[in-house]
Amino acid sequence: MVAVRDWRISQRYIRIGHNKAIRNYFQTVKRGTTRESLRNSLLITSFDSADHMLVKMQYFNMYLNGVLTNTAPVIPEYWAMKVGSNRPQLVVVFKPKNNSNTRDKNSRWSLTIPHFNATTSNLKNQLKLIPDYDKGRYQGILTLKDNSKLIIYAKSINEAETFIRKIVNNNLINNRYIDRSNYQLKTGKINGNFKEVKVTPTYAKYFATGQKNLQPDWTAFIE
């Protein structure tokens, strides 16, 4: 009984310390974003086993190290409807293109392509079809048949629409989930501080079952 009681006390202090670190690191997170999902998934609950606690602490440590080495772990998007979180998703990480600004060169942004039309025999060429774009405050949204979404923040409405159309026209989304003859794009200006910079894809991670398994099925660099 002493050992069990000691572990419960240790567990409590470990949980408090870890969760405090998580909340401090993600204190500026916005609702409905990938970072919010990551924060929530890393918080330790009183129901977590020792193994679960260890995995969360190790992943957070990997995340911090990844931020410093520009290989930050990514997770798939979580859409408003719970069924959406388990859909196939490709998370693409972008970096500034030809940017000499020291403060910007280490920045990274992710974008999620739902139902990525993955053909492993031609994967390298497929990934090369993901275009560069000018990042900014104009949001573009393509909603697929199952309510999953491709969302981009670009420098202008035209830039957002152009990027989405390239993704569609390059057959990077499974045909079952998009009506190519009549797909609708929603665009609008978003308030807030959005970095305006030309970005290019650098690597991608594929999650065949979305957030059901946060370990990607594969990772590929985009040259």
Is residue 173 a part of any domain in this protein? yes
Q: How is the chain split among helix, strand and coil, in percent rounded to 5?
A: 40, 25, 35
Task: Provide φ and ψ at 96, rounded to 5°.
Answer: -60, 145
* Together in a domain, 100 and 176: yes
Domain that holds residue 50: 2-69
Of residues 223 and 81, more confidence is placed in: 223
Q: Is the pLDDT of residue 151 over 80?
A: yes
Is residue 160 a part of any domain in this protein? yes
Taking residues 196-221, report their average pLDDT: 84
Give CA–CA dist 18/34, Å, rounded. Answer: 20
Taking residues 197-219, report their average pLDDT: 84
pLDDT in tens, 44-91: 888 777 777 877 887 777 666 555 445 555 666 655 444 456 788 999
**Model pLDDT, residue 174:** 92
* Together in a domain, 168 and 205: yes
Give the relative orientation of helices 50-69 and 34-42 as an angle to the nearest 10 degrees.
140
**What is the number of domains present in the chain?**
2
Q: Which amino acid is at 73?
A: P
* Together in a domain, 137 and 64: no
Average pLDDT across the chain, whole number: 80
Give CA–CA dist 175/173, Å, rounded. Answer: 6
**Model pLDDT, residue 164:** 96
**Model pLDDT, residue 101:** 59
Name the domain boundary from 10, 37, 69. Answer: 69
* Together in a domain, 141 and 188: yes
**Model pLDDT, residue 71:** 54
> Which range is most confident: 26-35, 80-89, 100-109, 192-201?
192-201
**Model pLDDT, residue 65:** 58
Is residue 77 a part of any domain in this protein? no
Is residue 10 a part of any domain in this protein? yes
**Model pLDDT, residue 215:** 76
Q: Is the pLDDT of residue 173 over 80?
A: yes
